Amino acid sequence: MKRPTIADIAQRAGVSKGAVSYALNGQPGVSEATRQRIVAIAREIGFNPNSAARALSGATAKAVGLTLCRPARILSIEPFFMGLISGFEAELAARSYALTLQVVATPEHEIEVYRRWWGERRVDGVFVSDLRENDVRIAVLQELQLPAVVIGGPGNTGTIAQIWSDDAGAVTEAVRYLVALGHRRIARVGGLPDLLHTQTRTRAFNEVCASLGIDNAVTVPSDYTGEEGGRATRRLLIGADRPTAIIFDNDVMAVAGLAVAQEMGLNVPADLSIVAWDDSPLCSLVHPPLTALSRDISEYGAHAARQLLAAVAGERVTNAEAGTAHLTPRGSTAPPRQP
């Protein structure tokens, strides 16, 4: 089956190919009557512009890229990225932008992918997640002048705009809530320590604990997997002064932590309160349902997509803070059982 081209439309409409292009792209240069006739023909014969030809003629690729830097076993149950992708799609689809996905193993591999995408002119811009300190990707993106938006921060990303949510505010709210319930021994199972937002959370956690007189507030670093999260929880719970409340940096680790507590015969929330970061449906799925720091990941993604499309369009995009995650209390938190 032959794909219809603007030449076919031009012939049927009795105009030049240029006129068809102007008409279809809403450019001046054709009369309104001609435009309508051309548009009607295009629709009738099911015309779609060849994306390659379009991209080659200097227009945009109409595609943006996302690299995912997580092992497969994490990606599959990490709700965050799929939520983000859903949010991207909402904006991208509306403007007929495609999303190109690539799973990468390391930040270096990620850079290779950026270079290749740029060289191939495959994407007009990229989403960058998992921001680190002195992130090596930033310099490359600036060198290539590849439009980008960083999801996460705040950090130093030069001319590349960031969007982040107020991690410090959220962790502060969670600790205050637990302290209000009567908890004095509060621990945290953190995400990957290299990531900037993990560091932000750790700093804020330490500060608010200190300010409230919570002495041995400890953060155990982890890697977002259930295995590691469970192990970290076990280590915390077998100690002498075991915490009465734990904040987890993602929902997967929180669910694993819940299982470990139950396996050790502890009652949640009476013996141990649990707060999960990021309120995916996972948190409502378990028993007891988990108190969570909720934010609208989809909307977060949509916001990032709007920023990226603006950057692609050459607009100056400024850093933006998405809403602070707010606490959604559920069955996993309660005052600590009196000893």
Partner DNA sequence: CTGAAAGCGCTTACAG
Residues 299-338 that bind DNA (CB under 7 A): none
Q: Which stretch binds its own copies (CB under 8 A): 129-137, 280-288, 308-316, 320-328?
A: 280-288
Whether 71 contacts 65, CB under 8 Å: no
Q: Is residue 93 involved in binding DNA (CB under 7 A)?
A: no
Packing angle, helices 79-94 and 297-312, rounded to 10: 50
In the 8-state DSSP scheme, what is residue 336?
A: P
Q: In 3D, which of 198, 161, 173 has the Cα closest to residue 321? A: 161
233-262 positions binding DNA, by CB under 7 A? none
Q: Is residue 56 involved in binding its own copies (CB under 8 A)?
A: yes
Packing angle, helices 32-44 and 6-13, rounded to 10: 120
Taking CB under 7 A as the criterion, the residue among 26, 36, 44, 57 binding DNA is: 57
Taking CB under 7 A as the criterion, the residue among 40, 59, 101, 136 binding DNA is: 59
SS3 of residue 117 by DSSP:
helix
Q: Both tokens of residue 135?
A: 């992130």
Q: Which positions ≥6 away from 81 have C-beta within 8 Å?
A: 68, 70, 75, 129
Residue with tokens 């015309």: 47
Q: Both tokens of residue 143?
A: 């060198």
Q: Which is nearer to its own copies, 75 or 168 (CB)?
A: 75
Taking CB under 8 A as the criterion, the residue among 19, 151, 275, 282 binding its own copies is: 282
Q: Is residue 240 involved in binding its own copies (CB under 8 A)?
A: no
Taking CB under 7 A as the criterion, the residue among 28, 46, 158, 213 binding DNA is: 28
Q: Is residue 86 involved in binding its own copies (CB under 8 A)?
A: yes
Taking CB under 8 A as the criterion, the residue among 14, 26, 28, 46 binding its own copies is: 46
| Least gap, CB of 264 to its own copies (angstroms) | 10
Q: What radius of gyration, in Å, describes the C-alpha atoms of the chain?
A: 25
Residue 208 binds: one of its own copies, DNA, none (C-beta under 5 to 8 A by kind): none
